[in-house]
Amino acid sequence: MRSIVENYAELPRFIRKPLWRYWHSWIIAREKKSVVMTCMNYGFAGLDAPKTVDLSPEDESERYGLQMYDQAASWTSLEGKDVLEVGSGRGGGASFLTRYRKPASYVGVDLSEPGIRFCNEHHRVDKLRFVKGDAEALPFADDSFDAIVNVESSRCYPRIERFFAEVKRVLRPGGTFLLTDMRWKEDVPKLRGQLANAGFFIDSEREIREDVVRALDIDDERKRTLIGSRIPRLFVAAFGEFAGVRGSGRYASFASGRMEYWSFKVVHAG
């Protein structure tokens, strides 16, 4: 189980989407009424000062996951824009960006039906909505959005070239694609090539692996306590892998630099 989680992105294409759907449903079924987690990324903490954004008290418990969104959006202003997020997960980042960055509208899309239902019930924020959809076949008309946000999701997609073609299709001319995700160090040039082949130009970029490791370190105890109190023993190791706790394969690959974590501001090339 643990190794399935660790090597998810290397699994055969046909199994990845059903597995994600199952994983979401499982988390939601376990949660019952008390929601403790609306972010599912590894987090971001500043190297000099870990706290990189002022948060209201109710957002504090998910600080590092939200800071990942804050850094992704820091490349551009979202104010007054129509924003799409692909792979919005449990919606914490979408809610945060809508409340703090003031877009005209924000739509979160995810593969998971129960995940979307959870988001629409849990995040009651003006101008924010969630719809079910696949990154490789987005349910929107051409030229619908000014900005597209994608955080720690693209590595899961079986055919990333289809996703990039869809981003290009639904993004208005001059729009911005904010892509943040991990890749094995040797796969980063391939990602750049895939973006270029799709007709995109990387306007700005930053490698944030160390900030991710810092967040994993700071948040380790909270995650372990959460996992220990909510997850049956049999699944604790798999969940620890998913959460990137110290001692997990994921943590080791970030700490050693084998796995990198990149943040890109991408624009139409032509």
Shortest CB 168 distance to ligand SAM, Å: 16
**Which residues in 102-121 contact ligand SAM (CB under 6 A)?**
109-112, 115
User: Applying CB under 6 A, does 93 fall inside the site for ligand SAM?
Assistant: yes
Choose one: 146-154, 191-199, 201-209, 249-257; the region binding ligand SAM (CB under 6 A): 146-154
Q: Does 152 bind ligand SAM (CB under 6 A)?
A: yes
Chain position whose Cβ is nearest to ligand SAM: 89
Cβ 137 to ligand SAM shortest distance, Å: 9
- According to the 3-state scheme, what is the secondary structure of the chain? CHHHHHCHHHCCHHHHHHHHHHHHHHHHHHHCCCCCCCCCCCCCCCCCCCCCCCCCHHHHHHHHHHHHHHHHHCCCCCCCCEEEEECCCCCHHHHHHHHHHCCCEEEEEECCHHHHHHHHHHCCCCCEEEEECECCECCCCCCCEEEEEEECCHHHCCCHHHHHHHHHHHEEEEEEEEEEEEEEHHHHHHHHHHHHHCCEEEEEEEECHHHHHHHHHHHHHHHHHHHHHHCCHHHHHHHHHHHCCCCCHHHHHHHHCCEEEEEEEEEECC
Query: Among residues 99, 76, 220, 51, which one has the least CA distance to residue 148?
Result: 76
Residue 112, beta-bridge partner list: none
Stretch that binds ligand SAM, among 47-55, 85-93, 120-128, 251-259 (CB under 6 A): 85-93
Both tokens of 179, joined, read 């892509």
Contact 97, 78 (CB under 8 A): yes
Binding part of the chain for ligand SAM, among 7-15, 54-62, 147-155, 223-231 by CB under 6 A, reads: 147-155
CB of 115 vs ligand SAM, minimal distance in Å: 6
Of 5, 6, 27, 40, the one binding ligand SAM (CB under 6 A) is 40
Least gap, CB of 17 to ligand SAM (angstroms): 6
Q: Choose, by CB under 6 A, the member of 6, 27, 41, 146 that binds ligand SAM.
A: 41
With respect to ligand SAM, which residue has the nearer C-beta, 59 or 136?
Answer: 136
* Residue 151 interacts with ligand SAM (CB under 6 A): yes or no: yes
Write the binding mask 44 to 83 for ligand SAM: x where contact by CB under 6 A, - elsewhere. Answer: ---------------------x------------------
- Closest CB 270 distance from ligand SAM, rounded Å: 26
Q: Which residues bind ligand SAM (CB under 6 A)?
A: 17, 20, 24, 39-41, 65, 86-89, 92-93, 109-112, 115, 134-136, 151-153, 156-157
